[in-house]
Structure formats: C-alpha cells, structure tokens
A and B are shown apart, each in its own frame.
Chain A
Amino acid sequence: MKGLRNYLSRIKPNFMPGGKYSKLQSVFEGFESFLFTPNTTSASGVSIHDSNDSKRTMTVVIVSLIPCLLFGMYNIGYQHYLAIGNAGAGFWEMFLYGLAALLPTIVVSYVVGLGIEFIGAQIRHHEIQEGFLVTGLLIPLICPINTPLWMIAVATAFAVIFAKEIFGGTGMNIFNVALITRAFLFFAYPAKMSGDAAFVATEPILGLGEGTVVDAFSGATPLGQIATATTANPQITNIVGEPISTLDAFLGLIPGSVGETSTLCILIGAFILLFTGTASWKIMLSAFVGGLFMGWIANTFPSATYPASSLSPIDQVCLGGFAFAAVFMATDPVTGARTEVGKYIYGFLIGVIAILIRVYNSGYPEGAMLAVLLMNAFAPLIDYFVVQSNIKRRLKRAKTNN
C-alpha cells in the first residue's frame, strides 16, 4: 500500500490549483480520501476523535441495503421465469437474469448522480460528499424494473440538481433525493410507472430467459390489483393468477419495485441499521406503529368504495413499499425530524399518511413515497415545536426564579 500512497502523493501536485488537472481537484481528493483516510489531525478542541465518519455511515447503509438488492435481483428473475411459464428454472438462472436486468439501472444511476456531484463539488471547491453513494443504490431499488434507462438518467439528474445541489449538497437537502427521483418518474411518466407492464421483466436479456409470456399473465402488483378492484373483498394474486398469502408478501416473491417486495430482507437491513446505531429506532418503530394503527382503523371500518380497507394491518405493512420506506427512507437523518421527540411524531405520521393515501385515495395505489415526501416538508415544523417547547421551558424557569 506504501507504493500506492507514494504514487498518489507524487501525482497530487498535478491536481492542486495551478496544476495540469486542477479542474479535477475535488475528484482526485475524493478518490484519495476514499483510498486512504486523510491524515488531518485535530487543530483545536479535542485531540481524539471517534473512528466513525460520513464514509463509514454511508457504507453501513449500503451494507444494510444488500439483502434487499440481492433478493430484488433474484425476484426479478423469479417473476420473469414465472411469467414465461418456467417456474422450475434454477436459482442461478433467475439470479443472473435479475442481475443482468438491474445492473444497467444501477450503473446509470451512479454515473449520472456521481457525475453531477463531482461537478458540483468542483464548482464549490468542496470535498466530494458521500450522500449519493446511498441515493444511487436506493434509486434502482425503488423503481419498477422496466423503467427505461434514459428515464432513470433524467430523473436522477433532476433530483440531484434540483433537490440537492441547489440546496447546498449532502446534508442540506429538504427532500429525500431518491424519493424525488421516484416522484419525478411517477408524475412525469405515469404510464411507465404503474399498471401491468412496469413491474415484471418479460423480455429475454443477453440470451437469458428466452420464452414467451403465458396466457394467464398479469403483471399488476398486489396493491395495483386492489386499487383497480371493483369488489369489496378483492382476491390478490401473483402474476399467473395464483392467490398471494401474507407469508408470500412477507418473503417477497411478488411483483413490485425491485427492493421493496421482501419485508424479511428489509427487516434484516433494519436490524443492521439499528444495531450499528446508524438509523433512528424511534422513527422506524413509530412509522410501523402508525402504519399498523391506520391499517387497523381502515380494516375496522371496511368499505366497498375503498377496497384496500379490506387488507389486514399486517398485510398493509408487508405489501407495497411501506416497509422499505419506513426503514430506509423515513430514517434519512437529513430530511427527517432531528429532535428526539420529533422523531416519534414524524415516524408515526409517515405510517398513518402512507396507509391513508393507499386506502382512501384510489388514484394512488401506494402512498409510502408521498407520505415520506410530505413529512419531509413537515419535519422542520415538527422540530420547530419541539425546539419551542425547550425554549418555553427555559423562559418559564427564568420567570419562576426571578
């Protein structure tokens, strides 16, 4: 490693102001600090620091997404082979198909997003910040697998520029960048983002998964089926018309956005986030409590007008993007509530609103994304009241003393 360190030190002057490649200073420093922890020592204040830094924090989030990512790849293949009537295909066949289907999306998301981040960092003469490492992986996980790559590129660029860079970069954004990407796609290209054709890859990729789709095929997600149902108690089925149980929804072999289907894998991710102390258990817990609570209310007063009210609270949190949003989106510390009391309120309202939109607004089969974005907007207000209560307590104390 000494050789690499020496090589970097040797070429470094080229990237400094005045050097040949000074326009790439931020990029160079980004890679240098990625390879070797900077030797900066504290100039004032404490002489010792915790080992945790922003890179580590983001790495932990990425690790916690890996179960969802791998399962998502497998599920893409599983749904594909199910659709072409070859459910008996091998594990690796399915996984490789999913890998081939998803990899381009991941690459596009990272290349577009990081490219913009690099440029933004250089314009501001900042270090490259790590936030997009997580966002770049979240985007493929929350989009339908059939989203065209150019749409991913456009939406990512829009989100990174308008939801993040213009606010000042990582740590300054108001809305969750990955969700802005998703919302942009959802509102700009609604036809591609919902319905039968979005969630199951049916075309062969690189010679993998040749075959024609069976007659019984319908690619609608369970929540999509419910939103368009006309009966009071609709039966939800998988893509070839077999009924889906709560266990299927929990394990995740159902159609849906890539990373959101398996509640089990999401819970593994949640465990990693909570055990390492990276995400707030207060937000996560209260989001699930809010979702179960609203699901219970809807289910206690079922209505034929709103077929989703027939789902049990457990189904509500296992289906669709609810669990993924509660674990990975709501807990984004930058866009969420930052006060400890505020986190309970913020999480709870995300849970409630997600199910509220899902059940009582038949225009949107899923409400988790909109709930998180809405609460992103309200998080500063929640924090404002918590901070005000601290201020009032202090004022009251001063008054009683004098």
Chain B
Amino acid sequence: MAEIKIKKGLNLNLEGAIADTTVTDAKCTTFAVIPDDFTGIVPRLDAKEGASVAAGDVLYHDKTHPEVKVTSPVAGRVAAVVRGERRKIEAIVIEADGSGKTRRFDTSADARELLLESGLWCAMRQRPYDIVPDPAVKPRDIFITAFDSAPLAPDFALLLKGKEMYLQKGIEVLASLTAGDVYLGCSPEWVPEVKGCNVNTFAGPHPAGNAGVQIANVKPVNKGETVWTLDAVTAARIGELFSTGAVPFDTIVAVTGESVKRPHYARCTMGCSISSLLGNDVDDPDNCRIVSGNLLTGSHVAADGYLRFPYRQVSVITEVANPADFLGWASLSPRRFSIYHSFTRWLLGRGKPARFDAKINGGERAIIMSGEYDRMLPMDILGEYLIKAIIAFDIDKMEQLGIYEVAPEDFALCEFADTSKLPLQKIVREGLDKLYKEMN
C-alpha cells in the first residue's frame, strides 16, 4: 500500500452538506435511461415503445459493438422513447409496474460476457477517450476509485456499508479481465479490507478522488495503452451480480446543496425521477439549478428529469441569486468565493461553507492568466497547452501533451477557477470525441 500526497487542487466547502446520515427510501414509478450518459455508445434500440421489460432486460445495444448492452434498471413497460434532432434517442422512459421482475443471469458464464450482457459493462469507462470500454481491447490495468472528493459528495463508507464482500468479489472478477493489476484508490479516512488488488491512499484536496488523477500518480496511461476506470460502488455491483445472479440496480443518493431544505441520503433505483428524490424539499423551485451529480461534473437536469449516471448524488443551488448585481467586479463582500485573495472571503477562514449560484461571474475571454489550470490539475500535464492543442485540434500536439490520460472531469476544477470562463470540460469532451473518430 502506497500513500500518495496530492498537493494541487481545491476542496470546496459548500453549504448544503448532509448532517444526518440516516438513509430514507424514495418512492418512484417512472424511470429513465439516458443514452448520453454512456459516452461512446451509438444506441440501437432493442426494447420498442410499449414493450414489457424486467430489471436487467436489454434496452439497447451499441451499433459497432452489438455485445455492449444497456439494460433496464426496473421492471415495467417502456412508456416512451424520447427522440431529439435527427432522431437521436434522448431518453428511454420506463413506467414501473411494481412486479419487481428481475432477470437472472448464469454466474458460471464467462466474466466478460456476463458483464456485457448485464449492462454493468457500461458503468465502466476506459482511458483513453473516457468512454464505455471497447470490448475488443484487454485493459493494461483496472483502476477503482473508492472515494469521491467532489463537493458535497456522498461518503463511500456509507454507500458500501455491508457490501464489502461484494466489493471483494468484484475485484476478483475484474482481476480476471486484465493481465495487469487492479488498483484501489482510497482516501486515508476509509480503506476497505480487500485482497487481490493494489491499495493506494490519496491524501489531499479534490480532484484526488478522480480516476485520472489517481492513474497519473500511480501508473500513467501511455499512447496505445488502455486502462479501465470505475468506482467502488460499481465494483461492488459487479461482485453482487456474480454472487447472486442478479444486477442490483438500487443505489444510495446524496441529496445535497444549499437549495435543498433537508440534505439527506435517499435509497432509490438508478434512473429514478428527480422529483421523487427532491419532492417539495427545494427552496425557490422556479429559480433553482438541479444537477444530477456534483456541481463540478454533474449533468444539468430539469425538475421533471431523471437521476443520471453515476447515480450517487443530486445537487441543487440557486440559478441566479442576484439578478441586478451592481458593480459585481468591485465587490468587497466576503460572501463571494474566490481562490484569489482579491476578494475578501479569505477573512472568514476556510471553515465557513460557501454559497454559489450558477452564474459564471464574468464574461468569456482569451486565456489571460497563466498557471491557473496547473494549480488545479495534479497530473504531469500542461493543462493550458493541452486545451489550446484541443481547440486547434492539432492531433500530434494533443497526443504529445497527454490527451490519452485525461477525462473531462479532470478539468472540472480548472473550469471552476478559470478567470477566462472557458467551458473546458466541453472542450475536452469534444476533443476526445473528435480524436476517437479520427483514430477509429
């Protein structure tokens, strides 16, 4: 076990943290699977509108790799296939019938086949490209993250309570899929007792919990190599599938954020409706931003939207707190959060949780300040140069500067801190997508 210290980055202490860790049950009847959550898959529909499905039945498969399948989290009827521009599938809505029918899998089958068939394959990601793993490629290593360092993120010790044996089983299954090693990245506070993998602890601020950061500090991805990344919750699900023969689609979600009246943990099923989690528990519902996930990387969802991958957190903040912010750039108010001491917030000390709204607090500019990304990126990557190479889509430069090592989430904190207000995660995502098309 190695102890790795992460120095760069930032822990954001936000209002709306969960004080009481009791888990309450959320009741829901409509669920949805959003194909956009499974980056890299071009969906080909298997379950048509009106079809009945059991939990674990295939909803759609990938166009190029038909063995990669996405399955229904719940038993019921496919109520709607929502399509957008050019008939792109935006959501598959499932009306639960309450029968609780669950598809059973043969646990003696080949591990790879079973993962693909059960849909759990799609809960993993591969580097390069940060997409659902290519089933034709055997990974060099597999990296499991066992903590989430993002703002207001749920505690993995709680998510995995009573599931340690499944995590162990999952690690064993995953070890059989790689010629290399399985790495488990933990926080110093909670290290699960598991065998058969390399356990490393990462002390330091966010993004210490990101797979990309952990890989970069253990064994970076080189050109031509593929590694898989997943979180320990998914690893435990894999273990549970191989132990019981059924995919556990239940999940515990941290409902957080300053606009949530009572931040709490909720037990629910993946893909459940946001309204079933939030209820009437939100301040000023007409002026709030609901994010499925954390506030740095999560997906922006509507109040009638659904819980999105990775199904662990919902954050709610005010959309625009002060619509007439007079001379905001000159403000001396300590309420404004900044990593710079030009705002007076540092006077309050680090202990005081900050409030945020969704404003970008400025206008988009050329990259003026230097070193801002470096401060937030604990990897041996020159963030600014990589971003510029991506914008110019200079493939050689992108490769040389380490595009294969990064995922959009690694740039989330850079985007937060960026004085130029550039949409860095979007730039990286589009760069990876374009590069993938170019290379395959």
Contact = CB atoms under 8 A, between A and B. Distances in A.
Indicate whether A and B interact. yes
A131 B125 CA distance: 42
A243 to B, nearest CB: 41
B90 interface: no
Nearest to A276: B342
Given A46-B412, A47-B291, A49-B361, A57 B419 contact: yes
Contacts of B392: none
User: Per DSSP, are chain A's interface residues mostly helix, strand or loop, or mixed?
Assistant: loop
Interface in B311-358: 315, 317, 319-320, 323-331, 336-343, 356-358
Contact of A171 (B365, B424, B426): B365
A376 to B, nearest CB: 14
B48 interface: no
A275 interface: yes
Nearest to A273: B342
A334 interface: yes
Contacts of B326: 1, 4-5, 35-36
A35 B327 contact: yes
B368 A390 contact: no
A400 to B, nearest CB: 9
A317 to B, nearest CB: 24
Contact of A51 (B361, B381, B412): B361
Given A52-B338, A280-B370, A37 B325 contact: yes
Interface stretch (B91-99, B109-117, B244-252, B293-301): B293-301
A53 B319 contact: no
A170 B417 CA distance: 20
Given A41-B289, A334-B368, A48 B358 contact: yes
Nearest to A401: B222
A341 to B, nearest CB: 10
Interface string B407-440: 0100010011111110111100000000000000
Interface centre among B300, B326, B366, B416 (most CB of A within 10 A): B366
Interface string A1-36: 110110000000000000000000000000001111
B440 to A, nearest CB: 20
- Chain A's interface size range is 35 or more
B380 interface: yes
A57 B341 CA distance: 11
Contact of A55 (B223, B291, B329): B329
Contacts of A41: 289, 319-320, 357-360
B222 A51 contact: no
Contact of A48 (B220, B317, B402): B317
Contacts of B341: 275-277
B340 A46 contact: no
Interface stretch (A244-252, A299-307, A391-399): A391-399
Given A1-B326, A52-B343, A394 B402 contact: yes
A169 interface: yes
A47 B365 contact: no
Nearest to B337: A51
Nearest to B298: A47
A55 B338 CA distance: 14
Nearest to B367: A171
A195 interface: no
Contacts of A1: 324, 326
A51 B343 contact: yes
A392 to B, nearest CB: 9
Top 9 A-B residue pairs of the complex, sorted by shortest distance between their CB atoms: A53-B362, A171-B366, A37-B328, A398-B222, A55-B329, A45-B425, A276-B342, A48-B356, A5-B324
12 contacts: A42-B358, A47-B315, A47-B317, A49-B356, A50-B419, A54-B368, A54-B420, A55-B329, A390-B401, A391-B400, A393-B380, A398-B222
